[in-house]
Amino acid sequence: MSKVEQAIRTVVSHIDAYYAFCLEGCFHCHVCAYNCPFFNTFHTWEHVPVMIGDEVRKIYRYISTLSGRLLRTLASASKPSERDFEKWAKLAYNCLMCGGCSVACASILEEPPFTHLLRSAVHVAGLTPKPLADYASNELETGHPLRLSKEEWLSFIESSKSELGFDIPVDLKEAHYLLIPGWLEVKESPSTLKAAFKALNHLTSMLRVFYGVKATWTVSSEAYCLAFMPIMVGDFDNGRQLLSNVVEKIEKLKPKTVVVVGADYGFRVLKTMAKKLLGKPLPFQVKHILTVLDENLSALNLNKRANPDPVTYHDPCQIARWSGVYREARSVLKAAVENYREMYPSGILNWCCMGGGGLYEIPEKRDMILKAFALKADQIYKTRAKIVATACTTCKLMLTEGCRHYGIPVEVVDIIELVAKAIKK
């Protein structure tokens, strides 16, 4: 079977009734373009989100509709050739997968699933950008995109115990909370993870002492990474197996709730995509750490005077727009800092950090995403905040680089770091 035939079969096999509705329901009004950071920066047709949908639509109509089979190009249907692969690769990886287009869509459709589908064809063609292809391969082979071993993870836990001065339970069964990070925290943002340890340890202690709740928390020696790079690059079959393996490792500990910190795309996959990918509901709850903190603010008893500097908040796309966690961030911040300043637009309308969809990891995209970051830089600058908080490690790294590039003197932290600082001693 040729690569073209493989690509066609791969794309069509993942188009269910809802995706078909999205493909046929597009008005081609192009309103989505005005909520795309890249179109707002470069104003070119290749950055109009509907163009990605059009490529998938041509394949779908060619295979799955009578009009497409009979009328071909007259019905906006055509059989792809190998010449299309380069165009698909460019379109699929000019997308941040931020979901801004879906918020603007007049038909209330989801555009980024088409990016997933187009990336699946690009994966079949072997044109996935090398850094992302390597990360996906590493994760399939070792369980971690950076090949972080179990021994390295447990070593990090031990050093954190010594530094923080309290025990970090490992593999405690039937705990209230099982904390799982993304994939960058140990090596790129250890302060985020240590702050999360401190926050959960404090929260469970307060619940036990003052509320009589026998709350416990733990980390896993095996499930210590939520990345799901194969799914991001469109390798759905291997990605589904990887997800199943992660869920199996979690199930061994029988936690009531999986608490996610640092992860953005990994959180979205486990929270909103796992049921569809696995064909069954998860046997545990999945919550972002912001949700857990918001639910227990009175127990945390935070001292906002510990954070007197003005703070603004960047909503990570996968956490806010795709997973619905954005009100919780404001509730937690207003309890943890003295001077909170909202940027505009915010929440589900917030501009992406420009590092989403894996683009932060692709060197060839650096100039493009830094130019587009001007939109984000303007948002941040207008707040006159000294600290930018976020809840995603990729966002944290991209915001730090982008603000430095545009000369904006701010400190970028994970929101959990501000919470940890506000915990009364």
Could you read off the pLDDT of 132-191 as tens digits, one per residue?
A: 999 999 999 999 999 999 999 999 999 999 999 999 999 999 999 999 999 999 999 999
Confidence of residue 66 (pLDDT cuts 50, 70, 90): low
Tokens 């460019």 found at: 90
Provide the CATH number for the domain around residue 30: 1.10.1060
Same domain, 7 and 93: yes
Same domain, 12 and 118: yes
Cβ burial of 248 (10 Å; 0-12, 13-18, 19+) is exposed
Closest C-alpha among 317, 326, 307, 325 to residue 385? 307
Q: What pLDDT score was predicted for residue 60? A: 80
Closest C-alpha among 391, 380, 315, 313 to residue 347? 315
Q: What pLDDT score was predicted for residue 111? A: 61
Same domain, 361 and 272: no
Same domain, 232 and 188: yes
Vertex 45 angle, CA 44 and 49, to 5°: 110
Q: Residue 51 pLDDT more than 90? A: no
Same domain, 259 and 327: no
Provide the CATH number for the domain around residue 318: 3.40.50
Structural domains in the chain (count): 3
Q: What pLDDT score was predicted for residue 404? A: 98
Q: How far apart are CA 101 and CA 105, in angstroms?
A: 6
Same domain, 156 and 280: yes
| Cβ contact 228:185 at 8 Å | no
Contacts 24+ apart (CB under 8 A), 16-24: 19/113, 19/114, 19/117, 20/60, 20/64, 21/109, 22/53, 22/109, 22/110, 22/111, 22/113, 22/114, 23/53, 23/56, 23/57, 23/60, 23/114, 24/57
For the chain, the 3-state helix, strand and coil shares in percent, each to the nearest 5, are 60, 10, 35
Which residues neighbour 348 within 8 Å (Cβ) at sequence distance 6 or greater? 103, 315, 320, 321, 326
Q: What pLDDT score was predicted for residue 235? A: 96
Closest C-alpha among 283, 287, 285, 284 to residue 296? 287
Confidence of residue 76 (pLDDT cuts 50, 70, 90): low
Q: How far apart are CA 342 and CA 243, in angstroms?
A: 36
Boundary (domain end) residue, out of 243, 260, 295: 295
DSSP state letters, 43-95? --GGG-THHHHHHHHHHHHHHH-HHHHHHGGGGT-----THHHHHHHHHHTS-
Find the mean pLDDT for residues 194-199: 97
Same domain, 68 and 193: no
Q: What pLDDT score was predicted for residue 7? A: 84
Same domain, 106 and 73: yes
* Percent with pLDDT over 70 in the chain: 95
> Phi and psi (nearest 5°) for 389?
-100, 150
- Mean pLDDT taken over the chain: 92
Confidence of residue 63 (pLDDT cuts 50, 70, 90): confident
Ranges 39-53, 294-308, 325-339: which has the least confidence: 39-53
Boundary (domain end) residue, out of 295, 313, 347: 295
What are the helix (H) ranges across 165-189? 185-188
Q: What pLDDT score was predicted for residue 71? A: 52
Boundary (domain end) residue, out of 127, 152, 179: 127
Which residues span the domain enclosing 59? 3-127
Q: What pLDDT score was predicted for residue 75? A: 46
SS3 of 160, please? helix
Q: What is the dihedral of CA 90, 92, 97, 103, to 10 degrees?
A: 100
Same domain, 198 and 262: yes
Ranges 69-73, 107-111, 236-240, 406-410: which has the least confidence: 69-73
Element (H, E) at 417: helix 415-422
Same domain, 303 and 238: no
Q: What pLDDT score was predicted for residue 208? A: 84
Same domain, 184 and 229: yes
pTM over 0.75: yes
Q: Residue 72 pLDDT more than 80? A: no
Q: How far apart are CA 101 and CA 35, in angstroms?
A: 6
Same domain, 17 and 122: yes
91-131 per-position pLDDT tens digit: 999 999 999 998 888 777 766 678 999 999 999 999 999 99
